[in-house]
Structure formats: structure tokens, C-alpha cells
A and B are shown apart, each in its own frame.
Chain A
């Protein structure tokens, strides 16, 4: 297990320290190999142990011992963390490989790979740690790497600001997580997963405390997994290089919140209120982000809002108690969203850093591999029957329906909007006529093999990922493999939603119907009529509101940032300048002033001294006499 965790760290150290002096190819190969080897070890361990149901626990050393509190650097490789490890290192290696092509021309090449390796290391700490403190270390570590990588092209001021925004937003969530950890320790006197969850399962804790802890942990998850109201950093995080968006802001880091909730399911299972909050927040996020996604014209922004929306769907599943469905969607989403991001990166690369889909069009003939893989990704996310997204999304919808038909309805709307904006983006980008006058179409080129190979692998995974957890109508031998696999991880028996077969078919039909409607409508609008999304000036009404993201950023600016800035200015002026500076400077300057005054007396002139002496003696005499 130490190899799994330490190889990326080693890769980080080598490429971070020596990378400057090594040729680019070598740095890329070392970093990619570190993650790929880590994946190899993880896969080995997964097949040897986790599949058989054994959990491997290792304690490396005691990190901290104060009084009765002991915090160990300890790791557990069980089915849940093992699965996450496979996703992280597996997709991580593909994206490392892709980055070798994508970042080829960049001067910060070695730095980029160092950060990526560091990210993988921290992400592994997060999922493999066997207590909440290790999770917190990883949590903060990935936050740092996210910040570093969003602001990777730091010479652009806006990118730096986007990085800062992501960091600050995450800090808000982290505060919730931290408070949750404090409460956990206060209540259970331990950070260890097994200890804490056993105590929770024993049922001696008041439900109010459990709900408080559950909600605080969820605040942390909100920040990291970009849920309302802390989601605005994720679309801005697209300032980072595209492989970063694919790895950190789509496939792995943003799912840390989902992992946290699944890991703590014993807690959420006991708190219906917290689960409801998660479900409604997830639902609201999913719809809201999907609506905004409808009118975005930056290829990466569309994908970013799509990510937020899909994460919302995962939280809907978590809120319904469908933890396997959430993990399943997390997995398939990691496949197809990484694929879509890498595909968009390939487009951006081929178009020489053009990201506006209105300036693309007709790219399918120029970039055949990207076109086909992107098509697969789009079909997977929109729920084309029998691709991965179809199964995972329908499982969530099914659970939502069993939980509350109203939630199902809203989730379905969100899913249909996903179909609309994805096809809109797809058709506008790859079909129609080429529209960029500044960059001749002849120069548009397909990406090199190091970039298209990960695309092809991810496309295969996106197609077949759904086979992991087939619905039960595929028969008992095939269906539900993933549910069975994760079942021992839960503190309770997860049951299939009790829905009659006809209802289930109806739900399935509805999902397929919205897919077809979205596909046909967008095809009609953007291919048959060859429409182009209007430019920013032409937008009116609701479209303009959507394009401006419901003005949430502006609202936050007015409601939060501006008052804080005013408060900052006021306290700077009043408290800092006058009170603090006044007191602090006064303490120093008063004795200085007094001594300056007194030192005038000691002027070295003997006459004055004599006068002082006479005066002093006179005073003494006077005191003695009267």
C-alpha cells in the first residue's frame, strides 16, 4: 500500500525539484509512470484483497498524541476506498499521458506535472486515510493543488483571481468540515472511522448532535463538490489548463464530497433531516446549474456547469439513501466527463486556444477521433440507451421516484436540460459550417496520439462502464454487481426501491423520451436550420439572465464581497489606524517624549546643575522644617 501512496509523492518530489534541469519528455514520463505504477499496485491490491472482501489497514506512525487524543497516520484499503483509488490513479494516469501532449509547448511543464502528482498524492490521502484527520489533510491538500493548478497560468490576472475565488469558497466549506470534526471528537473522543461509526451505530448519541455533525460535514462537501451556494468557484476554475479541469474539477476532487458522505453513511443514515437537506440542495444545484449551462458559449463552461449539475444529481441520490447509485454515477461520470473535458481540450488545442463554440463549427471532418469520442461522451452523459450514463442516471432517477415522485420529476427535467445543452454544444462545435475568420480551417488539426489515446480508452470505459451495475431486469447473474460489491461497506442493508415493473418501465420510457426530444430538437435547431447561438449583445430576456448565470456572481459581490470590503475599510481606518496604531504607537512614543524632555535638563552646563542642586536642597530643607 505504501507504494500506492508514496509513488505520486516521489513523482512530485522528482519533477518538482529536479524537473527544471531535466528534458520535458523525461519529466512527463517520470510523473506519468509514477501514477501509472501506483494504479498498477492499486489494481493488484484491489484484485487480491478488496474483491475478496478483505480490508487492508496499515498504521505508519502516530502523528500526534496529546492527552487522550491520538491521531495516527493510518490507511485503510477497503472496497470503497479501493474503488476510489482505482478511479483516481486510473483516470489520473490517462490524464497525465494526455497532458504530455497538451502541455508540450508550456514553459511551466515540469511544474505542471509536479502539481498533478502532488494532487494525486493528496487525493489518495483523502480517500485512503482511516480517520477523519487524514481525510482533512488530503482535503486541504487537494484544495491547495486545485488552487495552484487553476492559477497555473498566473500571468493572467483573471486566472489568478479565479484561483483565489476557488480557494476562498473552499475555505468556507472547510470551516464547516473542521467544525464537524471538532464535534465528532467532542462526542466520540476519536477520529477513527471504525470507532466513530460503531459508536454512531450503537445508537447512544442524540439525534440532534448527529444531525449537527452531518450538516457540518455536508457544508464541507458543499464547498468541495460545488453545491449551492458554494458552487460558483467551479465554473471559474476552468481557467486552469484543460487536463486539470478533467482530472480535478470533473473526475476526482469534486467527488470528494460524495465520498465523504458515502464514507459517513452510518451518520447520514441516522439523520433524516440531514439527508433531506442534502437531497434538496443537490436537486436545486442540479436544476440551477443545468439552466445556466443552456446559454453558455465557452466549451469548458458548458462542461463545468454540467459537472455541477451532475454532482447535484449525485447528492440527490445520497439524500435518498441510494449510496451505491451515487457511487455508480460518480464512476461513470468520472469516465465520460473526463472524456468530454479531454475532448474539449483536444478541440481547444486544434483550434489554437479558441474556446468559444460560436467560432467553431464543422470540426468533425478535421478531427475525426475527437469527434467520435466526443460523440460517445455526449451520448453517455445525455443517457443514450445502454451507455454508462444511461444506467447510472436511471438508477438515481428510480431511487428518487421511490423516495418522492416530485423529486423524480425535477431530476428528470434536469436530465433533459442536460441533453439539450450537451447536444447544443456538440452540434454547434462539430457540425454546421466553420465560423472562425481569424483562424483558417486548414490549420485546424487533429491532436497527437498521446492525447487521442486517453480519449479512446475513456470512450471505451464510457460505453461499457454501465455494465458494472445493470438494473435487475437484466437477470440476477448479471445485474447489480456494484451494489453487491459495495454492500458490506454500509452499516445497513441497502434495499432496492420497491417499484412495480410497469412503473419502472414507464420511468425508463420517460428518460429515453426526454433524451430523444432533446436530441431531435437540437438537431433540428442547429443542423437542419444551421443556427448559431446569438452573440452577447443580441441576448434578451431569460436567455440573457441565463447567460449571465442568474447574476449569482454579481449578487455575491453585492451581498457578501462588498459589505466585507466596506467592513474591511472601516476597520482598517477605525480599528487599525486609530485604535490599534494609536495605542501601540502611544505606548512607544510617550516615554520617548518624556525622556526627550528630561534629557534637555542634562545639558552638561555646570551652572544649571548648580541651580538644580540649590533648588533641590531648598525643597528638602523646606520639607524638613515645615
Chain B
């Protein structure tokens, strides 16, 4: 089985790469939808790491955490998208760099 050949380090590399992609997306993209997707990507990278390490350690705690994270991520996505819809209705834009009315 190809999965047997996979070392734990591969999982760690993959999730690190995924997390970094998400992080850079968050930092350098301006479209709010892409931003939300990137956050989702970072969360899932963490999930991947949790499950991989859970299996590797033979401990179910990590997988339980994943469920919690998925719940929170779903809620976050719902609220985030709702906000985004309202922003779009008001400004006709999804570009976050224009949303600076809260500046000090």
C-alpha cells in the first residue's frame, strides 16, 4: 500500500506547505472570498497534522480536536460569508483594502 510507505514526516511537510500557502494567501490576496478560502486552507492543514499525528501516536485525542475545529470552521465560514454579502451589498466590492473605515 502506498500509504504504508508514507513516513510521518511527509504528512508534516504537506501540512506545512498547505499552511504556508494559506498564510501567504491571507497576507497577499485582497479578495475577501479568497481570504476566507485561505483561512479554511490553514485550518485544514492543521486538521491534517492533527489526524496524522493522532494515528502516529495511537491516541484519539487529536481526531476529536479535528471535529471541534471543523465545527468552528463551518461557523466561521458561515458568519464570514454573511458579513461578506453585506459588505458587497453596501460597497459593491469584495476588496478588503478598501474596508478601512475603522482606522484610528
Contacts and interface: CB of A to CB of B under 8 A. Distances in A.
Interface of A: 599, 601-607, 610-611, 614
A602 B104 contact: yes
29 contacts: A599-B104, A601-B104, A602-B103, A602-B104, A603-B100, A603-B103, A603-B104, A604-B99, A604-B100, A604-B101, A604-B102, A604-B104, A605-B96, A605-B97, A605-B99, A605-B100, A605-B103, A606-B96, A606-B99, A606-B100, A607-B27, A607-B30, A607-B96, A607-B97, A610-B26, A610-B27, A611-B27, A614-B23, A614-B27
A203 to B, nearest CB: 79
Interface of B is mostly: loop
A440 B102 CA distance: 88
Give the size category of B's interface with A.
Answer: 10 to 19
Contacts of B103: 602-605
Contacts of B96: 605-607
Contacts of B104: 599, 601-604
Nearest to B28: A607
Interface string B2-26: 0000000000000000000001001
Contacts, number: 30
Contacts of A604: 99-104
Contacts of A611: 27
Contacts of A605: 96-97, 99-100, 103
A614 B101 CA distance: 22
Nearest to A600: B104
A599 B23 CA distance: 26
B90 to A, nearest CB: 16
B18 to A, nearest CB: 16
Interface string B22-39: 010011001000000000
Interface string B67-104: 00000000000000000000000000000110111111
A574 B23 CA distance: 58
A596 to B, nearest CB: 10
A601 B100 CA distance: 12
Contacts of A606: 96, 99-100
Contacts of B97: 605, 607
Contacts of A607: 27, 30, 96-97
A173 to B, nearest CB: 62
Contacts of B99: 604-606
Contacts of A614: 23, 27
A603 B103 CA distance: 4
B91 to A, nearest CB: 14
